[in-house]
Structure 1
């Protein structure tokens, strides 16, 4: 096989037709022959007299083949029928034995296919209802725990504020009471000082009287006999002060508790967590699956598509109003939305003319997405709000995310759901909202409880419902299935991998930019590396944003230029 043939074989990504030497896409399946068929071989199969009565269905609707099990009595025969009377599996030769004469038999493969379908249905219930609903309840519990922490912290803050307020009042009363004691003390001391002065004056008076008496004694007897008798004033009367008495306050711990308040749990019946009925979830799933089938049918029309041997540049847009092109969203009309690291978000027409320009808080993230109904959705990480722009240029608030900051956003082409990558306080998650903006799913941890994300700054969805994210901090492409179960992580092709823009195409390929090697990688649906689809050899310098439109054109935005380049890579 030539080098070119080897390369083309390595790029094979679809199921090959089971007819010898036919390498076309086996989108059909013959339940009788147990092999896939392409459209041409299917037509020949129907025309062939030997196979025209074979049951041929779409590959995804194929009947499950009965596992091979050798008969214990006839080792050269396979067990393939079921005896209804004996209720045991048999080979065709066993059915001719005497003990099974007159018994009725069923095709064991039919029974197996039926049981397989039932088990698949039960497994589908686990994935689509029980697991998803339980994860939703677990998320509710986590949200309740977060709310309780916030409420209790708020209560503690209020308690401290109440205590501080009471302490301030106590300090104020103490200051007033102490001031009163100083005033009272001063008044009493002034009264006693006045009494001291009274007695000092009286003592001085007595001294003066005593001196006069001494003078009288020194006079002659005649003078003394005729002198007036000395009259002494009575001792002044004073009162003792009434001593102040301190009466202590009468209070208990309960009195203080009443002043400060208490924390109580209301005596109300706890509200039961709402568990959606399986019918409601099934209805939503059927709607989703119907949209998925429509998308799949659209994909079936293009089943002849395959990777081209070379990538062809189709056209270029010089986008006015942006410095770089970190993220690109393409509307159904072909109009572009492009954003740069300075928060500029602009819309251009097919000729590159500026139609709208909005200043946002976005920078290096995939923070905008075109929806199937013609709107554009973009995030504001400063306000934690997701906005919606209608074709009439009306901007309205669409979703509020509380204290979670949006990093990236993507509108599903399968059902219109909105996928949002978010982070908060070192944690990160992906949340799914329906078209009305109602939260319906959270993806944060794997089955071992490990954090899946750190900074999911670009996000997209594959045709099978897988959620694919570029995580800048983890330096990985992280992929989970539509139920939120971790499928795989892609670590790049070199020793260092720093993923940026990511998108998927109609064939389930994953395309992701690597800012280290300045290339765009092409992966299969299971994370297998297929090839480097764009590199500096094709004129790519610093790819940052990628997007595929409905016509399978690949749009690439780059750092250092406002040019968006369009390529054809499918044929």
Structure 2
């Protein structure tokens, strides 16, 4: 016997399908649902088995059209409430109520009766359905709560970058226009100056010619007088007058010199080749794609998520936040951030710890040898490290006790920095001053030496007192400020040369580039002090110049960055440390 299940609400006599459909969010107010069979009457019922919309009059017709399956007829507002078991792929018209976990397929009762799935682990398909829906719901929540908001943030980030680019390119166009106006003024002055010189030259030569003209006119007048005198003598009968006339024709045969003025020649400079260089050029651009530039947002911050950099923009005008007056007798060389509240400094004599907020001296430590340290750094764990070229050592200070980590033979340690993995990078030169290299230490073990490029040429300049400040960038590039070479030399983690930055023109004081201290920030910007121009250069991780920081700097030497990307500049001669905000 074939069973027909028809479910109709108790007050279906008062059921208004059109009103219900108007309230159905899946149906627009203008699109009234009609019966799929007669296509004229409004929908009142629904077959959950065949997914067909019906009016009451067509229910029987739909049922009789296919008697092979049990039609589940429900009120239209309860459509899709009946579970539809999947059809069996092996047995036509069979429905599957079990699931084979080994074959990963739905199976019907006929399949189970066969030997095809004998010994396989089976589950009720409703159980698998629940697990699947739970997984889908979990993934839906992940999409809603983490992935979708992340994409929204990425969208916002891209839009912010586009707005930032619009502004910066506008500023760039304005700067070029202003520079052009300055050039127009200078060119107008130059044109006027040359035209004035032309007028002066013309006046001088015309004056010379006018004087010569006057002299010739005088001669012509004198010749006319001579001719008149001769005419009178020739017409006169007075012999004495004829005898008294003494013509001076020979004198007039001596013709005056010919004046040939030379014209000045205007030699215009070559415009196409030289003008663009003189006027200024644009640096190249790059659009990089960082594979791990974005990270998924999570409700609980993981260490990776917490360390993901926030995109910051450079301030148009960097600001000096505070100035710390150190107590060194002669020179201040370096600065290293212990925290956002305290900084280590080194200068003539010893190393000193200062409070940033109070500007007060908290601690002073003298090197084991008693000599001025060559450089200082602070490890991730907060220990102070210093190099001492006098006894060829690299030392660490823990609880005010000095421990020697590295002792060199044939080399002298110079500058040092701590890496993201809490290792050390040390620059050093040979005793004869002819070689320079960067050595990577893990504890006291050498793990890498960086000295030559792919062609076997030295990466760094040499010399007994050649200075090489060093810092590791966020992308793990190793950045060296090579003062002697007047360049910032950047290699990747493997020690392969990426680029050399040799300064930017015009410099604030139009002097050669002399890089000193070097540091990097959360945006992978590279900052290097230029004591020759009393400024700090900011370049991106690919070596493109971004801007200068001056803020009234004087002889900037050492640099460091705190966790909030505030810049600290050690000024050598006035022995002051400036804290500068340059990003927002």
User: If the length of structure 2 is used for normalisation, what is the TM-score?
Assistant: 0.46
> Which structure would you say has the larger RCO, counting Cα contacts within 8 Å and 6 or more residues apart?
1
Length-normalised TM-score, structure 1: 0.47
